[in-house]
Amino acid sequence: MSGQGHARPVGRGRLMTAGAALATLLLGAAVALLELGLLSSREDLWRTRDDAPLIAALALALMAVPAAAFVHQVSRLAQATGERRLAALRLAGATAGQVRLIAARESGRHALAGALLGGAAALAFALVLGVSPWWTLVAPPVVVLGGVLSGLMAGRHVIASPLGVVRRARLRQPRALDLVLLLLGGGMITAGFVLKHWFITSVLVGVGAVVLVFGLTLAATWLIRASARRAGRRAGTAEALLAARLVEADPRAWARTLSVVGLTVFFGAGVTTQQTIVLLRDVSSSFEAGYRLVYLALLIALVTSAGALVVHQAEDLLDHRRSFAALSAAGAPGDALGRVLTRQALIAATPVCAVAAVAGVLVVVLPLVDVFPWTGLPLTLGLAGAMAGIGVLGASLVARLARPILARALHPGALHR
């Protein structure tokens, strides 16, 4: 109801362009780095180990999944772009098809602008690295396609029922399908590792990871909402109360962005556990290059998902521009509102990263219970804890990065209409 004037669509459009640019850059950079990793590790890795392609596939999947999730996140931003305006078009007599086309053209345009910018940056990055730049050119079309597709799907409920622009307060009940997704994703990844063919494996691991992320997102939604409720009950300050209620109202958005962080922590904990076992049992050192590649991929995944988190927080702030500006006008200190952002990230990220780290350790340790070097348990747990810590820390750092956006949102100009 609180009309946002003209500021909101413009803000979202710019955000969409910036997001698309970042997604393109990350995707392009991931491809370039993978190329570099394959080139540099070919000597010791490719000749000596038959499961080296698996590691490469795992690395590629690790990089592609967050990039895809990020594009999706940015697309959602396009989707939200003027839901009200789409509804208004429908009310003014446009058909559902016409509205879809308008939305697709708009989000496609922003995605294109961003993809061109990001593509140029990725190209430059590949040239600096000294790898063939051609592969990085895959990134821009992927991002543009994502933008157009998301535009076509934009505001589905708005298009179906123009008056349906109410807040999505109701949370879907859990269904058996959510569990099936987890099993399916896990199954595909396992199958990929069993098959050991570099192409089939990367496809299975990649698609399996995407399915897994969807399943995890659904599971994380519940975890995050429970965490937010708990935080809300114990909240004693305005920051704590606001943070808890904001997360509780939209746990799915947090789950969507954090599932990639969670996946990164999961793989990170798993890989460090495995590496600990390898080190302690003193198996061949030809793993080294492979681990470097995987850690590189994990780092990229973390950075990418951090990007998705920034987008999410920016979107959240745009949504709350007016009510936050009103709080600020009523005397809420700016840094207290800044702490709301950090707290939100902590409430949402802590349970997700903790569960992911535990799961990552268990997945590696359980099949190896009989050969696991138990003296290494403290080290394993410490490393897993560190992985979870990195995830949580990353999320809260992102919240700090979003503070300048907050400062702009709190500007009294936001009250002007």
Ligand X SMILES: Nc1ncnc2c1ncn2[C@@H]1O[C@H](COP(=O)(O)OP(=O)(O)O)[C@@H](O)[C@H]1O
- Which parts of this chain interact with another protein (CB under 8 A)? 1-2, 166-167, 169, 235-238, 241-242, 245-246, 248-249, 320, 322-323, 325-334, 336, 412, 415-416
Looking only at residues 395 through 414 of this chain, which bind ligand X when binding is defined by CB under 6 A? Answer: 413
Tell me whether residue 152 or residue 326 sits nearer to another protein (CB atom): 326
- In the list ligand X, another protein, none, the entry touching 308 (Cβ below 5 to 8 angstroms by class) is none
- Nearest distance from residue 322's CB to another protein, in Å? 5
What one-letter code names the amino acid at 353? Answer: C
Tell me whether residue 61 or residue 341 sits nearer to another protein (CB atom): 341
- Nearest distance from residue 235's CB to another protein, in Å? 7
Q: Is 161 left (phi over 0), alpha (psi -120 to 50) or beta?
A: beta
CB-neighbour burial class of residue 46 (10 A; exposed 0-12, middle 13-18, buried 19+): middle
Per the CB < 8 A criterion, the answer to whether 290 and 49 are in contact is yes
- In the list ligand X, another protein, none, the entry touching 377 (Cβ below 5 to 8 angstroms by class) is none
- Nearest distance from residue 413's CB to ligand X, in Å? 4
Total residues contacting ligand X by CB under 6 A comes to 2
Instruction: Say how far apart CA 189 and CA 213 lie, in whole Å.
Output: 12
- In the list another protein, ligand X, none, the entry touching 233 (Cβ below 5 to 8 angstroms by class) is none
Looking only at residues 284 through 323 of this chain, which bind ligand X when binding is defined by CB under 6 A? Answer: none
Instruction: Say how far apart CA 388 and CA 351 lie, in whole Å.
Output: 9
Tell me whether residue 229 or residue 292 sits nearer to another protein (CB atom): 229
416 binds ligand X (CB under 6 A): yes
- In the list ligand X, another protein, none, the entry touching 245 (Cβ below 5 to 8 angstroms by class) is another protein
Tell me whether residue 110 or residue 339 sits nearer to another protein (CB atom): 339
- In the list another protein, ligand X, none, the entry touching 329 (Cβ below 5 to 8 angstroms by class) is another protein
Instruction: Say how far apart CA 294 and CA 300 lie, in whole Å.
Output: 10
Instruction: Say how far apart CA 220 and CA 354 lie, in whole Å.
Output: 11
Name which of 233, 87, 232 is nearest 157 in CA terms: 87
- In the list ligand X, another protein, none, the entry touching 200 (Cβ below 5 to 8 angstroms by class) is none
- 165-170, Cβ contacts within 8 angstroms, sequence gap of 24 or more: 165/83, 165/84, 165/87, 168/250, 169/249
Q: Which residue is nearest to ligand X (CB)?
A: 416
What one-letter code names the amino acid at 224? Answer: I
Name which of 257, 256, 280 is nearest 364 in CA terms: 280
Tell me whether residue 246 or residue 402 sits nearer to another protein (CB atom): 246
- In the list another protein, ligand X, none, the entry touching 169 (Cβ below 5 to 8 angstroms by class) is another protein
Per the CB < 8 A criterion, the answer to whether 289 and 53 are in contact is no
- Nearest distance from residue 247's CB to another protein, in Å? 9
- In the list ligand X, another protein, none, the entry touching 166 (Cβ below 5 to 8 angstroms by class) is another protein
Tell me whether residue 404 or residue 413 sits nearer to ligand X (CB atom): 413
Tell me whether residue 213 or residue 414 sits nearer to ligand X (CB atom): 414
Tell me whether residue 28 or residue 232 sits nearer to another protein (CB atom): 232
What one-letter code names the amino acid at 230? Answer: R
User: What are the tokens at 203?
Assistant: 């496809």
- Nearest distance from residue 163's CB to another protein, in Å? 15
Per the CB < 8 A criterion, the answer to whether 341 and 406 are in contact is yes
- 123-131, Cβ contacts within 8 angstroms, sequence gap of 24 or more: 123/28, 125/25, 125/28, 125/29, 125/32, 126/28, 126/32, 126/35, 129/32, 129/33, 129/36, 130/36, 131/32, 131/35, 131/36, 131/39
Contact characters 354-393, ligand X, x per CB under 6 A: ----------------------------------------
What one-letter code names the amino acid at 55? Answer: I
User: What are the tokens at 134?
Assistant: 């051609």
Residues in contact with ligand X by the rule CB under 6 A: 413, 416
